[in-house]
Amino acid sequence: MTFGEKVRSLRMQTGLTQEQLAERLGRGKSYICNIERGTRKTKLENVPDLAEALGVSIGELVDPDDVEPSNPFLEFIPYLAQADEVTLNNIRAILGMPLKKVSLKFTKQVN
């Protein structure tokens, strides 16, 4: 299963439309549509926000076996999946990324 197929599957499992998922990310519907179709690559820095918006861990969203081993940071994905909010904010600060001020927790909807 490709990354886009996994995003689509998880989105549908949670009962979200592409518009709703895009809204949670502060993006347009086309962003989600292009990810799901595989016409847009997702930056590694966006994966935690996407996982949070889907209500899953990073490890559930990204399978380390499916990722190109050429990027030296990809080996850390399993560790990021287990990191708490303080650790993730420290990593964001080191990388010069915006810090999360409020952590939104989404729960899966049962259909």
Burial of residue 68 (number of CB atoms within 10 Å: 0-12, 13-18, 19+): exposed
The class of domain 3-95 in CATH terms is mainly alpha
Burial of residue 47 (number of CB atoms within 10 Å: 0-12, 13-18, 19+): middle
The pLDDT score that the predictor gives to residue 24 is 93
For the chain, domain boundaries: 3-95
- The span from the CA of 70 to the CA of 41, in Å, is 15
pLDDT in tens, the chain (111 residues): 888 999 999 999 999 999 999 999 999 999 999 999 988 888 777 888 899 999 988 888 887 655 555 556 666 777 777 788 888 878 777 777 766 654 445 555 555
To the nearest whole percent, how much of the chain has pLDDT over 90?
Answer: 32
